[in-house]
Amino acid sequence: MTGEVVLKKGIRSMHPQKFGLWLFLISVVMIFISLSSAYIVKKGAGEWIYIDFPEMFKITSVIIVLSSISMHYAYISAKRNNIKSIRVGLAITGILAALFVIGQFQAWGELVDGGFHFVGNPASSFIYVFSGLHIAHLFGALIFLGVVLTNSFQYRVHSKSMLRIEMCTTFWHFLGGLWLYLYLFLVLNN
């Protein structure tokens, strides 16, 4: 079974690991919705400063989109049993993720150089919290990516064994979409 929804006696069911992933993703959404709400409330309370967002945030946004494309390439390659392409897609995804994290740290450096620190005005504090929590989740996804990449070298990722790469792809696309949401939210609500 590849993790898709199947019918059993008229009841829809899902692989337990995939269900667990979706519960986790829902909890992450709830965390960021709560933080977004807190951001809006705190902004309305005053004492808010305008922040010039680092250009690096734009670059990392492009990088995260490219990593989603390479992850999807690996997923499609698994469906086609193209083992070499799976490995290439996963490796590129990992490299792009590392570049994303490096870029985020550089963006933090740009913020500090601009006088926007974690402690101080809540406007800058929220930027660090949003991007830091995203990076924390990305580290979890990188571990998962490493497991899937290792499995691909053991020939355990292919069209008849898709569960892990499906879950990793879902997690990866989720994080890409989450970053784009966070970036747009922060820019539009600055």
* Topology adopted by domain 21-38+53-188: Four Helix Bundle (Hemerythrin (Met), subunit A) (1.20.120)
Nearest to 128 by CA among 142, 120, 174, 177: 120
Q: What tens-digit pLDDT sequence spans the chain (190 residues)?
A: 455 555 555 567 888 999 999 999 999 999 999 999 999 999 998 878 888 889 999 999 999 999 999 999 999 999 999 999 999 999 999 999 999 999 999 999 999 999 999 998 899 999 999 999 999 999 999 999 999 999 999 999 999 999 999 999 999 999 999 999 999 999 999 8
**Domain map (residue ranges) of the chain:** 21-38+53-188
Nearest to 157 by CA among 72, 82, 76, 78: 78
- pTM, two decimals, is 0.90
Q: Taking a C-beta distance cutoff of 8 angstroms, is the pair 109, 52 a contact? A: no
Tell me the β-bridge partners of 161. 158
